[in-house]
A and B are shown apart, each in its own frame.
Chain A
Amino acid sequence: ETGVTQSPTHLIKTRGQQVTLRCSSQSGHNTVSWYQQALGQGPQFIFQYYREEENGRGNFPPRFSGLQFPNYSSELNVNALELDDSALYLCASSFGRVSGNTIYFGEGSWLTVV
C-alpha cells in the first residue's frame, strides 16, 4: 500500500466526451504528478502540481488539464477524448518539488475510449 488512492478504477467513455479522474495523495505529500501508460509502454509524464499550481508539464496537448486542491488531492481532466487516450492513468505523490524525492504511485485508473 502506497497511500495514494485513485478513482474510478475503470471507466469507458465515448470519443469526444470528457473525463475526470481523481487522486488522493499520501499523507504529508504536497506534490502530485500524473502519468499516462499505454499498453506495453512505460508511463509518460503528463504534468505535476505543487501547492495547487502546475509546475511542470510533459508533451501533452492542452485538452489534458488538472487541478490540485488545498488538501493536496488532485484531478486530471481530459476533454474531447480520442481513441488513443485509452490507457492506464497513474497518479504519483511526493513531498516537495525538487529532484531526489521518493515518488509513490497509485494503482491507476483504466480509461477505455470507444
Chain B
Amino acid sequence: GQQLNQSPQSMFIQEGEDVSMNCTSSSIFNTWLWYKQDPGEGPVLLIALYKAGELTSNGRLTAQFGITRKDSFLNISASIPSDVGIYFCAGQPLGGGADGLTFGKGTHLIIQP
C-alpha cells in the first residue's frame, strides 16, 4: 500500500541534542498527525495539525503542516532518554475516513548516553 516518505530512517544522537524529522507525500493531505510508538505498544498521538502552515507545540515537540499540504516536520528539542522510540507521521486526505490514515515507515530515534 501507499506510504509516505519519512526521513531519516534512524537517528543516533546524544542526550540533550535537538532532533528533526520530516515527511513528504505526492498527495495532498487535509490533516497531518505525528505518533510515537514504543516496542510492543500501539502508536501514541503526539501532535495533530489541521491547517496548512500551522505550527503547533506540545512541550519540547514542535510540528508544522507544510504550506503545500504535501509535507510536515517534527522537531524535538533537548532530547532525553524517554524520547527513544519510533516516530511515525500520518496523513489523512480530504475525503476523511474512507481512505484512512497513510503512514510513513517511521524514524527510529536512538539516544546515546
A1-27 interface code vs B (CB 8 A; 1 in, 0 out): 010101000000000000000000000
Tell me the smallest distance from the CB of A68 to a CB of chain B, in Å.
12
A70-96 interface code vs B (CB 8 A; 1 in, 0 out): 000000000000000000001010100
Residues of A within 8 A of B104 (CB): 42
Interface size on A, residues (CB 8 A): 36
When the two chains form the complex, which single residue of A6, A99, A105 contacts B35, counting CB atoms closer than 8 Å? A105
* Total contacts A-B at CB 8 Å: 95
Residues of A within 8 A of B103 (CB): 42-44
Given the interface pairs A2-B44, A102-B45, A105-B43, the reply to whether A31 lies near B97 with Cβ below 8 Å is: yes
Q: From B98, which residue of chain A is reached at the shortest CB distance?
A: A56
Q: Which of B11-19, B55-63, B73-81, B88-96 has 4 or more CB atoms under 8 Å from chain A?
A: B88-96
A6 to B104 alpha-carbon distance, docked (Å): 23
A58 x B1 contact (CB < 8 A): yes
A59 to B45 alpha-carbon distance, docked (Å): 24
